[in-house]
Amino acid sequence: MANPPSKEALALLDNISKLSGGLKNSQLGSREGLLDTCSRLIAELSHPSETMLKIFWSDPTHLAIIRLSVDIQLFQALSTIDEAGKTSAEIAAKCTSQTDPVLVARMLRHLAAMHTIRETGPDTFAPTTLSNTLAEPAYQDTILFLEDDFHIVHLKSPEYFKQHGYSSPNSGVDGPFQYAFDCKGKHMFEYFQSSAPHMGKRFASMMDMWSKGRPRWFDEVYYPVKERLISGAESDAEAFLVDVGGGSGHDIDDLCKKFGSEIPGKLVLQDRPEIIDLAQVDASIEKKAHDFLTEQPESPKYVADPTTGARAYYLHSIIQDWNDEVNTRILKSIVPAMKKGYSKILVNDFVVPNQGAVWPQTALDWELMASLGARHRTEAGHKELYEGAGLRITGVWRHPQSLDSLIELELA
């Protein structure tokens, strides 16, 4: 007979049944609660050797198969199939190149065992929402970035830490990334530009992919854009909102789509020149190459008929990329452009709790360290940084289903 479940497992099962009721009634947060509780239950019920094999066998092989699927266009082949499914030989015939049907069958079986696709009968497989989504260009780029380009950084990090006395990096130009690519002194974004433009493009796609499926800062229950920005915006101001380091423009483009003619002024997308070249945004959005370590050009000092600075300077996933010293430079480059009591800086970043951070936060913190010598901040860490740059926090907003926050700042 099997061992009786532990007290913890029983409590988790009770919680799952409560949360299931919430999910059926579309209660906000029940989906997230269920995901967390189910993963705790899996950890509680698994034998350590099962967990070990999950981490070191099933996940890496799953990853290897997903990566290979990009080359043979397996997800694209699957996306043409209906829910009844097709045999592995039929699916192999739809892949690019002459892929061995036996190899495809082995890939399909593991993908099905990992719930990435569905096994609908003997040697018969059908796509899922996940596998269809993995066929999209932004997801394919992300797989290539994380596997082909970035994975080496994690593989090399034990050597890096051994050489650096196991201390936490605090430099964007001498961390695990620079060690793996032998480019000490060059920041990751500079390295993309000078030595690996394909990585820069894939990275921008990854940021685009990441914005999907999570609440956006301008959603009604997140940050009240109408109340805090549109209302009170001066129509003769040069710019309404500047997306500083906005990548290929998904945030500002979606803001533009959502509010359309309600936006009372110009929208400006700024980033490095090679990223601005990639951006495909609404024609009304001005695209400008700008180094955010230098003085903000969307400022009364520079515009033809200056009245005020922009209503808002939006920084999404920027503060988390740099140490305090560089962030102070970024913020102080915007401060002279701001009008007191009118202009705001909007920081859209994680505010990690002092206890109970969840895996998307802790995993990203490690990625930030490895790639950029950077880290996540608690609310106290954010506050200290902004006060040091002559700013004050005027509010922190969070969507009930999001893990990130919107921190609103004004001149102190």
Contact mark string toward ligand SAM, 203..242, x via CB under 6 A: ----x-----------------------------------
150 binds ligand SAM (CB under 6 A): no
> Does 100 help bind ligand SAM (rule: CB under 6 A)?
no
Among 292, 313, 350, 386, binds ligand SAM (CB under 6 A): 292
> What does the block give as tokens for 362?
């802790």
Told to check if 275 binds ligand SAM by CB under 6 A, we report yes
User: Exactly one of 88, 317, 327, 333 binds ligand SAM (CB under 6 A); which one?
Assistant: 317
**Among the residue ranges 45-53, 61-69, 106-114, 314-322, the one whose residues contact ligand SAM (CB under 6 A):** 314-322
Q: Taking CB positions, which residue lies at the least distance from ligand SAM? A: 247
- Stretches 75-83, 153-161, 269-277, 385-393: which one binds ligand SAM (CB under 6 A)? 269-277
* Site size for ligand SAM (CB under 6 A): 15
Please list every residue from 54 through 93 that binds ligand SAM, using CB under 6 A: none
- Shortest distance, CB of residue 334 to ligand SAM, whole angstroms? 12
Nearer to ligand SAM, 207 or 407 (CB): 207
**DSSP letters along 293-355, please?**
TS--SSSTTTSSS-----SEEEEES-GGGS-HHHHHHHHHHHGGGPPTTT-EEEEEEEB--SS
Q: Which lies closer to ligand SAM via its Cβ, residue 272 or residue 376?
A: 272
Q: Does 377 bind ligand SAM (CB under 6 A)?
A: no
Which DSSP string corresponds to 121-140? Answer: ETTEEE--HHHHHHTSHHHH
Q: Is residue 344 near ligand SAM by the rule CB under 6 A? A: no
Sheet harboring 239-244: ordered strands across? 285-289, 266-271, 239-244, 312-316, 344-350, 404-411, 391-397
Specify the residue, 180 or 275, whose C-beta has the smaller distance to ligand SAM: 275
Q: Rounded to an integer, what distance in angstroms lies between the CA atom of residue 299 and that of residue 301?
A: 5
Query: Per rule CB under 6 A, is residue 316 in the interface with ligand SAM?
Result: yes
Q: Which long-range contacts (CB under 8 A, 24 or more apart) does 58-67 make?
A: 58/110, 58/113, 58/114, 61/110, 62/110, 62/111, 62/114, 62/116, 63/147, 65/107, 65/110, 65/111, 66/111, 66/116, 66/134, 66/143, 67/143, 67/144, 67/147, 67/148
Selection from 351, 347, 361, 366 nearest residue 410 by Cα:
347
**Residue 246 to residue 299: CA distance in whole angstroms:** 18
Where does this chain touch ligand SAM (CB under 6 A) — which range of 2-10, 89-97, 270-278, 357-365?
270-278
- Return the range that interacts with ligand SAM (CB under 6 A); candidates 94-102, 130-138, 178-186, 310-318: 310-318
Binding of residue 319 to ligand SAM (CB under 6 A): no
Q: Give the interface segment with ligand SAM, choosing from 92-100, 253-261, 301-309, 315-323 (CB under 6 A).
A: 315-323
Residue 177 lies near ligand SAM (rule: CB under 6 A): no
Q: Cβ of residue 305: shortest distance to ligand SAM, in angstroms? A: 26
Stretch that binds ligand SAM, among 17-25, 172-180, 278-286, 291-299 (CB under 6 A): 291-299
- Distance in Å, CB of 85 to ligand SAM, minimum: 36
Long-range contacts of the stretch 184-191 (C-beta < 8 A, 24+):
187/372, 188/371, 188/372, 189/272
The span from the CA of 335 to the CA of 411, in Å, is 7
Instruction: For 59-82, give one letter per residue: b (16+ CB within 10 A) or e.
Output: eeebeebbeebbebbbbbbbbebe
How many whole angstroms from its chain centre is CA 270?
A: 19
Of 220, 223, 228, nearest to 344 by C-alpha is: 228
CB of 251 to ligand SAM, least distance (A): 6
- The stretch near ligand SAM (CB under 6 A) out of 6-14, 77-85, 120-128, 316-324 is 316-324
Residues in Cβ contact with 231 at an 8 Å cutoff, skipping those fewer than 6 apart = none
Q: Does 255 bind ligand SAM (CB under 6 A)?
A: no
Q: Which is nearer to ligand SAM, 77 or 143 (CB)?
A: 143
Positions that interact with ligand SAM (CB under 6 A): 189, 207, 245-247, 271-272, 275, 291-293, 316-318, 321
